[in-house]
Structure 1
């Protein structure tokens, strides 16, 4: 080890004054450490190990969250990163609960080649993409606005206009999308079927057949519709990106995102909106490709500790910068062209 260290350029660049200052710093840490009080493991880490690592130049590190004493074999107490960009959770400053060292290593490599969607690690908000998080309708608090088809026809004298929209004297009514209705690149993944006899969970996912998917005019049936006047989207926006809030690390996919048409959207399908005036559809397709990447889903699995995919998790997920999509090429096509074509083909299917 001594020979290896002496061959490193950073070591050779250190002067005598630097080494003397380091020695003083390390001695100060050791002198403050209460050896006579028999400190436990946690105190040793807090008062000795981590201060020494910081003195040695490891300014970028993450402490492991110790939420459960079970299933933690081969899990590191902390991670050291060579730069802020490689941190797994730059905003919260905590490490995911990795199942193994290999998971930690792979996550570190992924973040070394990508950036967080929104980075708040330096007390300023740096967005890789100009996006913001939004929810439209709260399924409990806003339920007074919801109408079933039967209620629309009986109370509003509503009539179908096509495409899941109903008209009435009071205005148009749009479908209320919920998380179960979408899947990966699919805004027609399921209808909502209601079994009123099931008091615990009356609304369930209704299967959509291949024949229905082959019909471009097919639209999934929602449980409710909402007044179009209550649908809050920027002017001129006819579609947006939504992802499923209910997510499990044990499912085939944890991050499930898709483009959905202009509609009411429940809080089980949060929205990712553009917060600038650009509103470039091609950029939105690239971001959707990011969200559908296996590498991003793999990292999401490391972070999802419950059945909810909260925004503080999503904004720390690794994404590719827009400019990098344009600069990387595959033969005659840029990465941007390849990804856009793939996303449009999958979403259209």
Structure 2
């Protein structure tokens, strides 16, 4: 392969602007040259000596062997350890070294030492693990919601229905006792209220229409329920006619459900505009109300808003809220449907 000479000005630009710390040191570890990134990373200066990392400081070196593991073992391409930096603080770094100059007459050597901060990588890994944990918790929560909803619908509701039928049979035998007849009617009315409550609780836990018919159908049911129990008017605009991935459907449903309930409880709004559209593989969700709005700074850290954000981020989406006192509130979420990640595995909860 043909080699081309590198213009020194490019080498200098790389040396000055690369984010890795680059240090030239002699065999005694005295710093001869260093780039700005190395200075920012370590706090060292030219003329000082590179301290031994935590491993080299404690390792057992053979007689006559350089305590620096990288210098002693030229074959090692890189090395992970902690390096003393500012005022005794230790920094997790990835180190590599190479012999770049050797004077045979005076036995002088110069080494290139490259330091890469591992802190950012560790933080990124912590964020990744945190997101994965949140995703798993949401999955477990939804599976449990689905199980409880089925239990309420298929178990408790059926038992109450059986009791209702039994009451009808009893009522037919006590027509002559008006007082007892009135009491049975009161019991039946209370039973109907309990059955209605269980149906509502079951729907809140896991709408049956969401599993059977999809997101749009579940939202239409949710909108009907809210409008029948409040003075709020909700207008839904959507171009979605088919099914979406199950993880998208349940998480988007929960976000919209939380948003609408917040409007009912706090916004004092008259109208809500709900947009749910798919555009070139991207799903756009918008909930806008004409209510009193709120101060975003004061609302930071609220569990409701954070849970909404977490659900959208689990779909690799972007979540944004706009609001101000007297200006209403807009919730906006966007995500790529083909990049939404794994669907929620509900096979264990069915």
Please report the TM-score for the alignment, with normalisation by the length of structure 2.
0.31
Higher helix share: 2
Larger radius of gyration: 2
Please report the TM-score for the alignment, with normalisation by the length of structure 1.
0.31
